[in-house]
Structure 1
Amino acid sequence: MNPEDTAAFRCARLLILLLIVEDDAPHGIDAERLGVYDFLAAHPLLLARAPDDPDRASLRMAGFDDRALAYASPGQRLVTAQQHLGRDLDVLLGTGMVVLGAAGRVRYRLTTKGRDAATALNAAYARSYADAARIVVRRLRRLSGRRLRQTLRECISQPHLPAKDLI
């Protein structure tokens, strides 16, 4: 079984991501942007493809490897992730980890309970995912919704050719 098949794993990732975006989005983040950030943070080498990309070495050191099977079918994985996102957000809302707000669009943000849960996550993968999420958010936070969708399409439509890294 793949960890991404379990709701607890996916919800934990969303908690980490919501914690990371708090400073940039104090009123919360909409589901579309949250889903894009989560997908690319889980597969950050789709965004940092070029061997000379300044973030690629740190992502490789964090354990991300684009030779992994997960990179072979990014479009299919994106569709699956999008199908899970609504249910995962419902779980987080139902458990009091996240609240809804409205600032132009429906937005999600952590509650104190959710923040406490996110900061308690300390597995190696949680740290690697958080590192990747910071890179993704830094690169994409200023993009409009349209440009964000275009960037995602470019990331998943490029043929998968693992780069030859020095690491």
Structure 2
Amino acid sequence: MSVEDNWRFRAACLTLLLDVVADVRPEGVDADRVALFDFLAANPLLLAREESDPDRTRLRLAGFDDRALSYSSVVQRYVTRRQRIPDDLAWLITYGLVTVVVDGRVRHRLTPTGQHVARSFMSMYARAYREAAVMVVNRLGRMPDRGLAEVMSQWMTARAQPRSLDFPRIGR
């Protein structure tokens, strides 16, 4: 059983992610953004793939290693993760860590309790995941939905090569 199969682990990651996202999108984010940001925060070298990328060095020092990724199954792993997001968010809502905002669309954001919980995580993985989430949100957080959809479309149709993924470089 992979750690990603553990709902508590996934819920903790989403709590950390939503705490980071709140700085850029305090109104909350929809489930599609949550899924994308979460997946990329867990696999940040998909965005910081160039050796000259300063984020790449920081991420490698934090423990992320592109050799540990199976690039032949990146899309499949993303889709699997995306399918779990509604249940994971529902769990967080049930326990009062996340609230839903409906204003023409459904968005999720941390409650004060969720924020407190997110800031209490101190493990090395939590620190590394938070650092990766900051990088992902800084690069993609302000991107409009249409631009994010285009990036996703390019990513989903990209051809993977050994130790590389044709993921477009997005800002910094």
Distance in structure 2 (CA, Å) of the matches to 1:47 and 1:74: 13
Aligned pairs (5 A) from 1:118-137: 118-137=118-137
Is 1:11 aligned with 2:18?
no
* Number of equivalent positions: 163
2:35 corresponds in structure 1 to: 35
4+ residue runs of structure 1 moved beyond 6 angstroms?
none
Give ranges in structure 1 of 5+ residues lacking alignment.
none
TM-score, normalised with respect to structure 2: 0.88
Distance in structure 2 (CA, Å) of the matches to 1:8 and 1:129: 15
3-state SS in 1 of match to 2:24? coil
Distance in structure 2 (CA, Å) of the matches to 1:42 and 1:150: 21
Shift of 1:153: 4.0
Closer/same/farther in 2, CA of residues 71 and 62 from structure 1, 3 Å limit: farther
Closer/same/farther in 2, CA of residues 41 and 160 from structure 1, 3 Å limit: farther
Closer/same/farther in 2, CA of residues 103 and 23 from structure 1, 3 Å limit: farther
Deviations 1:58-98 (A, max 9, x none): 11111111101444411110011011100000000111111
Answer with 66-75 or 30-39: which moved more: 66-75
RMSD between aligned residues: 1.6
Closer/same/farther in 2, CA of residues 7 and 62 from structure 1, 3 Å limit: same
Closer/same/farther in 2, CA of residues 123 and 104 from structure 1, 3 Å limit: same
* Equivalent pair of 1:45/1:56 in contact (CA under 8 Å): yes
Shift of 1:149: 2.6
**Which residue identity lines up with residue 137 of structure 1 in the other structure?**
V
Answer with 64-73 or 14-23: which moved more: 64-73
Distance in structure 1 (CA, Å) of the matches to 2:131 and 2:71: 18
Distance in structure 2 (CA, Å) of the matches to 1:46 and 1:57: 13
3-state SS in 2 of match to 1:120? coil
Q: Give identity over the alignment, percent.
A: 46
Shift of 1:14: 0.4
Shift of 1:158: 4.1
1:73 corresponds in structure 2 to: 73
**Which residue identity lines up with residue 88 of structure 1 in the other structure?**
D
2:110 corresponds in structure 1 to: 110
Aligned pairs (5 A) from 1:40-59: 40-59=40-59
2:146 corresponds in structure 1 to: 146
Aligned pairs (5 A) from 1:91-106: 91-106=91-106
3-state SS in 2 of match to 1:67? helix
Shift of 1:53: 1.6
* Equivalent pair of 2:100/2:109 in contact (CA under 8 Å): yes
Deviations 1:101-156 (A, max 9, x none): 12442111111211111111111000000000000000012212122133234445
Answer with 68-77 or 112-121: which moved more: 68-77
Give ranges in structure 2 of 5+ residues lacking alignment.
165-172
